[in-house]
Amino acid sequence: MVWRSDGKHIIIAGYVYINGVRNEKVITQVSVDNWYTFKVEYMSGYWNFEFGNRYTAMSGKLGCVKLRQYPYFGGQSTAPVTMKIAIV
């Protein structure tokens, strides 16, 4: 899962790699300073991304599945403000 800012909201997207190229689908946009839950799972050849009450499925690869796939800041440049996420 990838997240980035549009200056007002946090954009949340799922991503997979197809032939070495990252492809992503925007799932939702959320407000800052709120708690959200998400889930990433692999079933029947698809990566399922669930964020709050939004859901998308994508086929492809997600790097080395032996490593945890933590969400990361995926902006084209640095974040416009200091941003933090907590994984609990």
Task: Please state the domain extents for the chain.
Answer: 2-73
| Positive or negative torsion for Cα 71, 72, 73, 75 | negative
What CA–CA distance (Å, rounded) separates 43 from 59?
10
Residue 59: CB partners within 8 Å, gap ≥ 6? 16, 45, 46, 47
The predicted pLDDT at position 67 comes to 46
pLDDT digits (tens, 9 = 90+) for 1-51: 788 877 778 888 888 888 888 888 999 998 877 888 888 888 888 999 998
Model's pTM, two decimal places? 0.70
Greatest Cα-to-Cα distance within the chain, rounded to the nearest angstrom: 39
Angle (CA) 10-12-13 rounded to 5° is: 150
pLDDT category, 70, cuts 50, 70, 90?
Answer: low
